[in-house]
């Protein structure tokens, strides 16, 4: 598939915003990045099978992950397109073969498009097997299982406004946990966000650990959302396609937000439900029970503006419609199937996760 016109970009954007689950970055940034890439060259999406066919007679090659890391609520977060060749060069210098494809760490309104400019600059395709088919808050969750055991990886990151004290550029090698922590600290120092190139893997490894078909799914559900003039009808089409449901509709109250180390934490109430978030929506509970737990997908729609909203956009008295899709119906990568990756989330939020996810976690 070629993302070669604005309508395809808008379909991918709408679907990615839905699958962002309250996170995944800014749709304005994603759209701008996509259109900038189209001005520079061809953006091609191919399947794992097609990538294997293209390289069946070649030597060693690598697929790398591009992502943005930081706080969606930060007003000072910034990085330019110029950082992509810099961080790519830092990674390529460490490899014994060429980069043959790129993937995002997650599907999200900005995240899905982090690959577009690198794909054009490197003249390689985007592979339809992201690290995850929905957005997530922690770098280890988008690390394709490399965080298990004693695997080491490499990461390069850059962000902030060039030629100012805020600009940060870094390269790190070590465990996924340690290098991800360094990247998140760099994002905080850079004003809130950095672009990252990381975790080179082989085609065989990606086939086993990636979220296959997630780009295609995002494009498909985005088209469903945009295909009619009725806002609510489009939502119903997507929920039917994904096996999801309307959860509740009402006004936001008791909204709370704090930011720590480039992560946004908070909660709010709506129609008798309490929703917690850490960048993405994490939990939905009543007084007596937990109803949904990340990586279940919770998406919020502003009733007045008829738009999908992120956790950074929520405010008291806002009228929202919330929908929910069980994680079993989503393409998830290996990073969201690792029990240990939820333990930092449990510590930072004070909420339980793993006890609700026994059928998913290993």
Per-residue pLDDT at 77: 79
Domain end call among 173, 199, 214 = 214
Name the residue with higher pLDDT: 191 or 127. Answer: 127
181 and 77 belong to one structural domain: yes
Same domain, 253 and 149: no
Average pLDDT over residues 8-31: 95
178 and 299 housed in the same domain: no
Q: Among candidates 328, 330, 311, which has minimal Cα distance to 320?
A: 311
Instruction: Tell whether 238 is covered by a domain.
Output: no
Q: Are residues 62 and 204 in the same domain?
A: yes
Q: What is the CA radius of gyration of the chain?
A: 19
Q: What is the pLDDT of residue 72?
A: 55
Angle, vertex CA 342, rays to CA 340 and CA 345, nearest 5: 130
Residue 220 counted as domain residue: no
Same domain for 108 and 46: yes
> 37-77 pLDDT, tens per residue?
999 999 999 999 999 999 887 778 999 999 888 765 577 77
Give the CATH number for residue 159. Answer: 3.40.1610.10
Q: Report if residue 86 sits inside a domain.
A: yes
Question: How high is the pLDDT of residue 73?
Answer: 58
**Predicted local distance difference test score (pLDDT) of residue 60:** 84
pTM value is: 0.91
| Model confidence band, residue 203 (pLDDT cutoffs 50, 70, 90) | very high
Residue 196 shares a structural domain with residue 250: no
Of the residues 214, 229, 252, which one is the last residue of a structural domain? Answer: 214
Mean pLDDT of the chain: 93
pLDDT of residue 78: 85
Percent of the chain with pLDDT over 90: 81
Task: Find, among 160, 151, 203, the residue nearest to 180 by Cα.
Answer: 151
For residue range 210-246, what is the model confidence (pLDDT) as tens digits?
999 999 999 999 999 998 778 899 999 999 999 999 9
Output the pLDDT for position 262: 67
Would 239 be classed as within a structural domain? no
Q: How many residues does the chain have?
A: 362
Q: Does residue 249 fall inside a structural domain?
A: yes
- 268 and 201 within one domain: no
CA distances to 132, 274, 314, 324 from 327, in Å: 11, 19, 23, 9
Q: Looking at the structure, tell me whether residues 204 and 270 fall in a common domain.
A: no
Pairing of strands 126-127, 45-46: parallel
Residues 157 and 271 in one domain: no
Beta bridge partners of 292: 284
pLDDT at 259: 84
Question: Quick one: pLDDT at residue 70?
Answer: 75
Among 198-202, 218-222, 226-230, 307-311, which stretch is predicted with the lowest mean pLDDT? 226-230
153, 205: one domain: yes
Residues 254 and 144 in one domain: no
Measured torsion, CA atoms of residues 361, 280, 136, 321, in degrees rounded to the nearest 10: 80
Pairing assessment for the beta strands 307-309 and 297-302 based on DSSP bridges: antiparallel
198 part of a folded domain? yes
95 Cβ neighbours under 8 A, 6+ residues apart = 62, 200
- Which token pair is 234? 């489009």
* Inside any domain, residue 303: yes
Please give the residue range of the domain that contains residue 30.
6-214
What is the band of 152 on the pLDDT scale with cuts at 50, 70, 90?
confident
My answer on whether 266 and 209 are in the same domain is no
- Separation of alpha carbons 290 and 287, rounded Å: 8
Q: How confident is the model at residue 131 (pLDDT cuts 50, 70, 90)?
A: very high
Predicted confidence band of residue 186 (pLDDT cuts 50, 70, 90): very high
| Cα–Cα distance for residue pair 154/346, rounded to 1 Å | 26
Q: Mind listing the pLDDT tens digit for each residue in 92-101?
A: 999 999 999 9
Least confident of 49-63, 297-311, 337-351: 49-63
d(CA 215, CA 211): 9
Q: What phi and psi, each to the nearest 5 degrees, are found at residue 25?
A: 95, 180
Number of domains in the chain: 2
């Amino acid at each position: 598939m070629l993302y070669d016109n604005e309508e395809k970009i808008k379909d991918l954007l709408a679907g990615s915003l839905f699958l962002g689950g309250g996170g995944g970055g800014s749709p304005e940034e994603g759209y701008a990045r996509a259109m900038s890439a189209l001005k520079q060259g061809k953006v091609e999406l191919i399947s794992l099978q097609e990538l294997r066919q293209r390289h069946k007679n070649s030597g060693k090659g690598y697929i790398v992950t591009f992502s943005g890391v930081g706080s969606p609520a930060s007003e000072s977060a910034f990085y330019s397109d110029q950082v992509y060749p810099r961080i790519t060069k830092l990674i390529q210098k460490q490899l014994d073969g060429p980069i043959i494809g790129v993937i995002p760490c997650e599907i999200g309104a900005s995240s899905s498009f982090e690959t577009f400019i690198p794909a054009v600059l490197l003249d390689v395709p985007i592979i339809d097997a992201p690290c995850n088919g929905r957005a997530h808050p922690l770098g280890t969750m988008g690390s394709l299982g490399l965080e298990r055991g004693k695997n080491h990886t490499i990461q390069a990151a850059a962000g902030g406004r060039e030629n100012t004290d805020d600009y940060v550029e870094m390269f790190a090698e070590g465990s996924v946990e340690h290098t991800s922590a360094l990247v998140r600290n760099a994002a905080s120092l850079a004003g809130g966000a950095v672009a990252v190139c990381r975790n080179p893997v082989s085609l065989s490894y990606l086939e086993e650990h990636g979220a296959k078909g997630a780009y295609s799914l995002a494009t498909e559900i985005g088209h469903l959302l945009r295909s009619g003039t009725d806002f609510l009808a489009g939502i119903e089409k997507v929920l039917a396609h994904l096996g999801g449901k309307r959860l509740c509709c009402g006004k936001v109250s008791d909204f709370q937000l704090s930011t720590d180390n480039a992560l946004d934490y908070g909660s709010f109430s709506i129609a008798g439900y309490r929703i917690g978030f850490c960048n993405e929506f994490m939990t939905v509970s009543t007084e007596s029970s937990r109803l949904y737990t990340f990586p279940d997908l919770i998406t919020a729609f502003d009733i007045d503006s008829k738009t999908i909203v992120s956790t950074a956009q929520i405010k008291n008295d806002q009228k929202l419609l919330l929908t929910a899709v069980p994680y079993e119906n989503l393409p998830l990568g290996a990073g969201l199937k690792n029990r240990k990756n939820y333990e930092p989330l449990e510590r930072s939020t004070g909420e339980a996760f793993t006890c609700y996810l026994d059928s998913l976690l290993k």
